[in-house]
Amino acid sequence: MRVESWTEWDPLRHVIVGRADLGQVPAPEPAVNAKVPEHSDMRGRWGRRPQDSIDRANALLDDFAALLRRRGIVVDRPEPIDFDAGIQTPDFQARTQFGCMAPRDVLLTVGPEIVEATMSFRCRWFEYLAYRPLLTRYFEADPAFRHTAAPKPRLTDRSFRPGYLDDAIGVQTRLDWTARKVFVTTEEEILFDAADVIRLGRDLIVQHGFTTNRKGIAWLRRHFPDHRVHAAHFPGDPYPAHIDCTLVPLCPGLILSNPTRPLPEHLRSLFRTNDWQVVEAAPPAHAEPPPLCYSSVWLSMNVLMLDARTVCVEKTEVHQAEQLDRLGFEVVPVALRDAYPFGGGLHCCTADVYRAGDRTDYLP
């Protein structure tokens, strides 16, 4: 067995698929409050999600894992810890944890290395433990595998802007603040979620937003000196967390861009110079996310590439599927919508272990 992955599109051979066991609606805390829209049904509610929704999400995740295995891909699953239990560090307490449906948020695979991200929600501080049995196994099996834990943050109140978005202040104010890069997280310490990074061979694009700050991007830049690390800010998103519903590379030369979160000019110019086509993603098929979901409807574009020609798309996201079909991809429909509330879509619920490829320079 081998750990290695440099891009979002090289042929996928080995992957982790999350589980919904003991999934939680997180208790209020600064970063979570900022991410949950004012009108969301999650406001004022927290604790273990209904068991029937957990069972349904797990059935979908199991089916997805089986589909990948039928295509010859090795699939590993995390070992859930007791996410019902509140947690405590010397600096904070959280009344619930989160779950382990979304390994993409926690684990960043770059070449032969998997980095456990710092995370920025208190409720996700110990989530890496669900993946430690796998990472230990990879360490034993692959002598070239580098297992790295980014500096664990303290997440004291100093890491969060006081009172940020606690009240119903409206989407326009959120947009004004995020346009000025006024986010809930401060620059007190290094913070990043792994899902704020997309990998394009020698280039890493990292979103600056609620879950990744400038220090987090600086840490990634210093940690990967042989990569070009591009910071990206998408002012059209009132809840900017995780890049994989905003900018989604499909294959060398082609990238999907969320039309409501326009690409910054420095990236548009980088792609233009290198003859990449930037295509606006099709509109989501749904006007609202499913109940108790903290992600946006743009999970429609949260696709998983099996290789540079084959893409898994959520089954009900018909507009996105049609667009990818027209672009010449083999589209593999996968039912996952009822699992969205547990942490996201098809890209979110996976993390790469091995893709057959190397650190090609696609944007020289």
Residue among 245 and 308 whose Cβ is closer to ligand ABU: 245
Closest to 183 measured CA to CA, from 107, 120, 126, 262: 120
Residue among 3 and 245 whose Cβ is closer to ligand ABU: 245
- Kindly state whether residue 348 participates in binding ligand ABU, applying the rule CB under 6 A: yes
- Active site annotation includes 84: no
Q: Which of these is catalytic: 208, 242, 251, 347?
A: 242
Min. distance of Cβ 234 from ligand ABU in angstroms?
10
Tokens 């499909």: give the residue.
250
- Active site annotation includes 319: no
Residues 55-74 within binding reach of ligand ABU (CB under 6 A): none
- Kindly state whether residue 242 participates in binding ligand ABU, applying the rule CB under 6 A: yes
The C-alpha atoms of residue 188 and residue 185 are separated, in whole angstroms, by: 8
Q: Which of these is catalytic: 251, 348, 349, 352?
A: 348
Residues 195-224 within binding reach of ligand ABU (CB under 6 A): 195
DSSP letters for 278-319: EEEPPPPS-SSPPTT--S-GGGGG--EEEETTEEEEETT-HH
Residue among 244 and 307 whose Cβ is closer to ligand ABU: 244
Residues 169-198 within binding reach of ligand ABU (CB under 6 A): 195
| DSSP three-state, residue 206 | strand
Closest to 340 measured CA to CA, from 47, 46, 50, 61: 61
Give the residue, chosen from 213, 257, 296, 350, that forms a contact with ligand ABU under the rule CB under 6 A. 296
- Kindly state whether residue 298 participates in binding ligand ABU, applying the rule CB under 6 A: yes
Q: Could you tell me the end-to-end alpha-carbon distance of the chain, in angstroms, rounded to an integer? A: 31
Query: Is the alpha carbon torsion for 78, 159, 46, 93 positive or negative?
Result: positive
For the chain, what percentages of helix, strand and coil (3-state, to nearest 5) are there?
30, 25, 50
Residues 256-295 within binding reach of ligand ABU (CB under 6 A): 295
Residue among 30 and 344 whose Cβ is closer to ligand ABU: 344
Min. distance of Cβ 112 from ligand ABU in angstroms?
25
- Active site annotation includes 286: no
The residues facing 2 across adjacent strands are: none
Alpha helices by DSSP H, the chain: 30-35, 51-70, 103-106, 132-141, 171-179, 214-223, 265-273, 318-326
| DSSP three-state, residue 219 | helix
- Kindly state whether residue 344 participates in binding ligand ABU, applying the rule CB under 6 A: yes
Strands 146-149 and 113-116 turn out to be: parallel
Min. distance of Cβ 1 from ligand ABU in angstroms?
28
Residue among 29 and 244 whose Cβ is closer to ligand ABU: 244
- Kindly state whether residue 352 participates in binding ligand ABU, applying the rule CB under 6 A: no
Min. distance of Cβ 304 from ligand ABU in angstroms?
13
Query: Which tokens is 334 given?
Result: 């996968």
- Kindly state whether residue 244 participates in binding ligand ABU, applying the rule CB under 6 A: yes
Min. distance of Cβ 105 from ligand ABU in angstroms?
7
- Looking at 160-168, 216-224, 238-246, 312-320, which segment touches ligand ABU (CB under 6 A)? 238-246
The number of CA neighbours under 13 Å toward the Cβ of 276 is 24
The number of CA neighbours under 13 Å toward the Cβ of 318 is 3
Residues 74-113 within binding reach of ligand ABU (CB under 6 A): none
Provide the binding-site residues for ligand ABU, judged by CB under 6 A: 195, 242, 244-245, 295-296, 298, 344, 348
Residue numbers annotated as active site: 193, 242, 348
